C-alpha cells in the first residue's frame, strides 16, 4: 500500500491498527474520532485530526489517503463503512499485522483487522470488516461472514460456518463443521460442538444457551 492511511477511531483498536500498519511500513496520516476532547491531541505520536465526519479530511480519502475503520461497536462500524462507500466510493483497507499468517489460498474481503499471530488457513473464506484478535485461528475451508469479531486465541476449526455479525469470545473453540447463526454470541472459553441459532448467546463447555 503506497498511500498513507487515516484511521477512524482513536481507541484501543485504532492504536493497535496503527501498530499493524507501521509493522508493514505504512504511514498513518492521523486519527479521526468523535470525542472532541481528543481533537488536535497526539496519540502514539500521531494527531487526532478531527471527527469522523470532518469533510476536510474525508476529501483526502480515495485520493491521497486510504481509510481503515477501527471501531468495535458493529452499529457504528457499519455506519462509518457505509459513509465511506456512499460518499467517498472507497472500501476500507485491510490491516494485517506483519506477524499474522494469512494463506495466499484464503479469500479475504475488505476492512479486516488481523492482529499479530492470527492465522487464516488455506481455503478459508473471510468476509469484510471483521476483527481477528491476537492468535485467533480460522481453519482450512472455514467460512466467516462480515462484521465478525474473534477474541484472542479463539479457534474456528476446519469447515465451520460463521455467519455475519457473530461475536466469539477469547479462547473459544468452534468444532469442525459447526454452523453459527447471524448475530450469535459465544462466551469466552466456550467449546461449541453443535449449531448455534441466529441471535443466540451460548456459554460453557460444551456451550449451552444462556437462560434469560
Are 110 and 94 within 8 A, CB to CB? yes
User: Can 133 be counted among the known catalytic residues?
Assistant: yes
Q: How many other β-carbons are positioned within 10 Å of the β-carbon of residue 26?
A: 19
Specify whether the backbone of 11 is left (phi greater than 0), alpha (psi in -120 to 50) or beta.
beta
Task: Report residue 78 as a C-alpha cell.
Answer: 457499519
- The residue to which cell 476536510 is assigned: 56
Sign of the Cα pseudo-torsion (199, 164, 195, 168, in order): negative
Per DSSP bridges, beta strands 42-43 and 46-50 are antiparallel
- The residue to which cell 474481503 is assigned: 109
Q: How far apart (Å, rounded) are the C-alpha atoms in residues 75 and 61? A: 22
Are 107 and 46 within 8 A, CB to CB? no
Which residue numbers are catalytic? 133
Amino acid at each position: 500500500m503506497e498511500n498513507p492511511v487515516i484511521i477512524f477511531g482513536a481507541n484501543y483498536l485504532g492504536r493497535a491498527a496503527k501498530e499493524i500498519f507501521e509493522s508493514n511500513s505504512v504511514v498513518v496520516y492521523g486519527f479521526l474520532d468523535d470525542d472532541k476532547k481528543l481533537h488536535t491531541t497526539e496519540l502514539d505520536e500521531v494527531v487526532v485530526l478531527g471527527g469522523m465526519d470532518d469533510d476536510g479530511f474525508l476529501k483526502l480519502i480515495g485520493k491521497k489517503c486510504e481509510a481503515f475503520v477501527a471501531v468495535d461497536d458493529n452499529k457504528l462500524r457499519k455506519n462509518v463503512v457505509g459513509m465511506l462507500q456512499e460518499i467517498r466510493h472507497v472500501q476500507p483497507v485491510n490491516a494485517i499485522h506483519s506477524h499474522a499468517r494469512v494463506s495466499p489460498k484464503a479469500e479475504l474481503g475488505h476492512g479486516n483487522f488481523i492482529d499479530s499471530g492470527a492465522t487464516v488457513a488455506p481455503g478459508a473464506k473471510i468476509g469484510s470488516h471483521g476483527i481477528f484478535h491476537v492468535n485467533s485461528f480460522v481453519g482450512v475451508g472455514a467460512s466467516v461472514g462480515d462484521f465478525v469479531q474473534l477474541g484472542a486465541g479463539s479457534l474456528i476449526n476446519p469447515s465451520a460456518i460463521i455467519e455475519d455479525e457473530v461475536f466469539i469470545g477469547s479462547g473459544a473453540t468452534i468444532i469442525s463443521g459447526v454452523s453459527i447463526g447471524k448475530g450469535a454470541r459465544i462466551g469466552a472459553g466456550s467449546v461449541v460442538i453443535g449449531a448455534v441459532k441466529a441471535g443466540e448467546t451460548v456459554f460453557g463447555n460444551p456451550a449451552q444457551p444462556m437462560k434469560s
